[in-house]
């Protein structure tokens, strides 16, 4: 059973305008203006909902949002990477992950200097996500059997048994 009010019927022209707005990356305000021109009345909030519904859920990472704090005099803002795609973080190459991690650390330090604790927390969470993606991108460490204490003890025991067997076969006394 559908919840809320009934959907506003856009008609074929309205649906075409909505599709074109998605292709062009228009805002909800621009979509409302175009729909008004063809006689369809819709609130900006509803238009925004319809746009996001048609585009599919696209989560904007907190990194892309502007901080409410102002930078201290003389300290340039941390250089931002072009984008941090949290959805495809595991597909990024190690060099890009390293750059993003350095940026997140610089941004966290700058936010701490500015006293912006929410941004420090956001950058900390982002750094953890990037570090985890970087860890997963690396091949697993090669295991050296000589480093395992159980295998070392087993090797010593086996060597002793082997020497006893050889001594018995050759007739030497233990």
Q: Which residues of the chain have pLDDT under 70?
A: 1-5, 56-85, 145, 172-174
The model's pTM = 0.37
Q: Between 44-55 and 11-24, two packed helices, what is the crossing angle to 10 degrees?
A: 70
Q: What is the predicted pLDDT for the residue at 24? A: 79
What's the CA gap between 124 and 112, in Å, rounded? 11
pLDDT tens-digit readout, 66-81? 554 444 444 444 555 5
Q: What is the predicted pLDDT for the residue at 158? A: 93
Q: Report helix, strand or coil for 50.
A: helix
Q: What is the predicted pLDDT for the residue at 59? A: 52
Q: What is the predicted pLDDT for the residue at 160? A: 93
Asked if 119 and 111 count as a contact pair (C-beta separation under 8 A), the reply is yes
Domain residue limits, the chain: 11-55, 62-137, 144-174
pLDDT tens-digit readout, 84-113? 667 777 777 778 888 888 988 898 899 899
């Amino acid at each position: 059973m559908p919840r809320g009010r009934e959907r506003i019927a856009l008609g074929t022209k309205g649906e075409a305008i909505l599709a074109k707005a998605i292709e062009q990356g228009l805002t909800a305000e621009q979509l409302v203006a175009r729909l008004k021109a063809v006689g369809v009345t819709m609130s900006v909030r509803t238009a925004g909902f319809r746009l996001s519904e048609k585009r599919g859920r696209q989560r904007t990472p907190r990194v892309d949002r502007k901080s409410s704090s102002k930078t201290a005099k003389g300290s340039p803002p941390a250089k931002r990477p072009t984008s941090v795609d949290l959805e495809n973080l595991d597909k990024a190459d190690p060099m890009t992950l390293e750059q993003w991690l350095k940026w997140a650390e610089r941004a966290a330090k700058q936010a701490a200097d500015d006293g912006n604790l929410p941004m420090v927390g956001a950058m900390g969470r982002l750094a953890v996500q990037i570090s985890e993606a970087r860890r997963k991108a690396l091949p697993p460490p090669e295991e050296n059997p000589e480093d395992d204490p159980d295998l070392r003890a087993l090797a010593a025991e086996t060597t002793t048994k082997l020497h006893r067997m050889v001594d018995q076969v050759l007739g030497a006394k233990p």
